[in-house]
Amino acid sequence: MMTRIDRYILGLFLASFIGGLLVFSTIFLAVDAMSMMVSNPDISTSVLFSYYMAYLPEVMRQIFPVACVIGTVLTLSTLNRANELVALFASGMSLARIAAPVLITIAVFSIVFFFVNDRIQPLAARNKLSIYYSEIKKRPDQFSVVKTDRIWYRAHNKIFNIKTLNPDTAMAQNLTMYFFSDAWDLLQMLTAQQVDMNGTVWTLKDGSVTVFSTDSSFPLTSDFKVKKMEMGQELTDLTGSGQTSDMLSQGELSEFIKKNKAAGLDTLQYEVDYHSRWGFAAAGLVMALLGVPFSVGRARSGGTMMNLGIVLGLVFGYWIAYSSALNLGKHGQLPAIVAAWLPNLLAVLLGVTLLKRLKR
């Protein structure tokens, strides 16, 4: 049952948490927007606004753990500065009990934030990239949409889709390509079971070519074993438009991994991304726990800012460990689930050890 003290502590935390979330998100967006305007001086205000509204869910996701640790440190430091922690300790409350309403709230926020973001983020990511390539770069042909396991791409008078694409091996499977006239009459359809992409030269294997002619009532189809084609697109054109797991929900990503595995493609990178989403969802709680031991010392003489600086340094260290673990996982040096959760485990062990040393 929540006591009056718990409500008081929770009120301090929510004020600091919301303030940190807004301030850091605003700073991030402002810096990025200035860079965007320098790189694209002709961008209109409406396009810039639409782009960053679509970017906002990703920014909030990245800032959320930092806001959690800032809210925790400022809350406990405020209690400490006013000698309220001393009174709470004297009443028999431990530091863990005092921090409990904050940590429980962060845990609830993390769960809600994860599932809400899982619904919003993929749509926002697609919208962001669509605006970037269509409105900012004026290259709509470089934007393609990933729908579970299909990549659609339009270039000049041809449209093609690829069922599965592995950027690491430059190989694709199940290609279907449609060629149109300037009047958008279908002229030719080409299919291939496998495609090797070597620059702009694609080697198509085990496919067929169907020609549609106004001089014949029936299309003419011929099969081929190997066929080379000079394309206007390289692999980077297909992958450069942001075809990453960010554009898929957790359920879609899971299905994407299963289907790519069934097709015999390497899914290690996507498996790491899948598990890292669960691991990152717990980052706010982990960082807050890490910040608790640093919130109870040096009540005055700039102690709050010093505590906050130390914790942000630890957060920076956490990010380095987190990024390093994911890179090791994507290169096969660590199992995907270990790469996603190892930084959290180490941070929790450090936080618990520091709490025990305080003996409060």
Residue 78 has pLDDT above 60, yes or no: yes
Residue 142 has pLDDT above 60, yes or no: no
pLDDT confidence bin for 148, thresholds 50/70/90 = very low
Could you tell me the residue ranges of all domains in the chain? 4-137+262-358, 144-239
At 251-282, the pLDDT tens digits run 888 887 887 676 556 778 889 999 999 999 99
HEC readout, the chain:
CCCHHHHHHHHHHHHHHHHHHHHHHHHHHHHHHHHHHHHCCCCCHHHHHHHHHHHHHHHHHHHHHHHHHHHHHHHHHHHHHCCHHHHHHHCCCCHHHHHHHHHHHHHHHHHHHHHHHHHHHHHHHHHHHHHHHHHHCCCHHHCCCEECCEEEEEECCEEEEEEEEECCCCEEEEEEEEEECCCCCEEEEEEEEEEEEECCEEEEEEEEEEECCCCCCCCEEEEEEEEEEECCCCHHHHHCCCCCHHHCCHHHHHHHHHHHHHCCCCCHHHHHHHHHHHHHHCHHHHHHHHHHHHHCCCCCCCHHHHHHHHHHHHHHHHHHHHHHHHHHHHCCCCCHHHHHHHHHHHHHHHHHHHHHHHCC
Using alpha carbons, select from 347, 171, 140 the residue that is nearest to residue 241: 140
Residue 242 has pLDDT above 70, yes or no: no
Model pLDDT, residue 209: 92
Model pLDDT, residue 146: 40
pLDDT confidence bin for 187, thresholds 50/70/90 = confident
Higher per-residue pLDDT: 119 or 296: 119
- Per DSSP bridges, beta strands 158-166 and 150-155 are antiparallel
Tokens matching residue 340? 């996603």
Residue 94 has pLDDT above 50, yes or no: yes
Model pLDDT, residue 92: 85
Residue 167 has pLDDT above 70, yes or no: no
Using CA atoms, how far apart are residues 32 and 27, in angstroms rounded to an integer? 9
Which of 32-36, 239-243, 313-317 shows the lowest mean pLDDT across its residues?
A: 239-243
Residue-averaged pLDDT of the chain: 82
Using CA atoms, how far apart are residues 344 and 350, in angstroms rounded to an integer? 10
CA atoms 236, 238, 241, 246: torsion sign: negative
Model pLDDT, residue 14: 94
pLDDT confidence bin for 233, thresholds 50/70/90 = low
Q: What value does the mean pLDDT take over residues 274-297?
A: 87
